[in-house]
Amino acid sequence: MLGGLTLLALGIWVSVDGDSFLYQLAPFSGQDFKFINVGFFCIAVGAVMSLLGLLGCCGALGESKCLLLTFFSILLIIFISEVAAVVVALAYSSFAEGILKAWAAPALQRHYGSDHVFTKLWNATMTELECCGFTNYTDFVGSEFEQGNGGRLPPSCCWTNSTPCRPYEAERSTVQGCFKHILETIKEHAIIVGGVAGGIGALEIAAMIVSMYLYCHLDTRIS
């Protein structure tokens, strides 16, 4: 319930006072999926989690077998869904680069240099991770930024961080794309991510065990 209320509060904040946050993410979204819905999504998930926690509390305090069984069933469905999502993510992780490239590369071609917030966000990312583009410097070749700056690329695409940074110099510098750096960062923190995911799964299993124990214990008390 506490987790749901936290997510609910986050969703309300994003919807009410998260204009800059949403605007930074907007260039990544397509015409049919706007990140403006992120706040409402958090609100919906937080509300469901809060109601689920309330359902379990009412079932335990009111000694209602129906509520306890409903709580157990919903939590079991959520747990199975999470396990299935992990399996699918592991099975199709090799396709992640292609999917993200089809999404990020066109955005760099269209918005980098023309959208101030988008450009500032990517400049900060490339400077912090010492990377260039999503895949490499080729993401900027033929872009509106290159055409509008006399064939120059972002300075981060060259090792010397020089200006101007031409494609031939970027090719010689062989600066890696940001996607590879992000993957390396994720791998470095895989233990933490796995620990958090395992903790959530253990909490869900514990909640299911307790609810089923209470469900069975009610029969003993009634008899």
Q: What pLDDT digit, counting tens, does each position of 73-92 carry? A: 988 988 888 788 777 766 66
**35 pLDDT higher than 50:** no
* pLDDT attached to residue 209: 92
* pLDDT attached to residue 36: 46
**Domain-located, residue 59:** no
Q: What is the CATH number of the domain that holds 113?
A: 1.10.1450.10
**Domain-located, residue 170:** yes
Q: What pLDDT digit, counting tens, does each position of 154-195 carry? A: 888 887 655 678 888 888 888 888 888 777 776 776 677 677
The model carries a pTM of 0.54
**Domain-located, residue 62:** no
Using alpha carbons, select from 40, 81, 89 the residue that is nearest to residue 204.
81
Buried b (16+ CB within 10 A) or exposed e, 64-102: beebbebbbeebeeebeeeeeeeeeeeeeeeeeeeeeee
**Domain-located, residue 213:** yes
Bridge partners (DSSP) listed for residue 165: 153
Distance of CA 103 to the CA centre of its chain: 15
Percent of the chain with pLDDT over 90: 1
**Domain-located, residue 21:** no
Instruction: Look up the domain containing 170 and give its range.
Output: 96-223
**67 pLDDT higher than 50:** yes
Instruction: Report the SS3 class of residue 153.
Output: strand
**Domain-located, residue 60:** no
Q: What pLDDT digit, counting tens, does each position of 130-158 carry? A: 888 888 888 898 888 888 888 888 888 88
**Domain-located, residue 8:** no
Please count the structural domains in the chain. Answer: 1
**Domain-located, residue 125:** yes
What mean pLDDT do residues 38-67 have? 84
- The span from the CA of 144 to the CA of 153, in Å, is 11
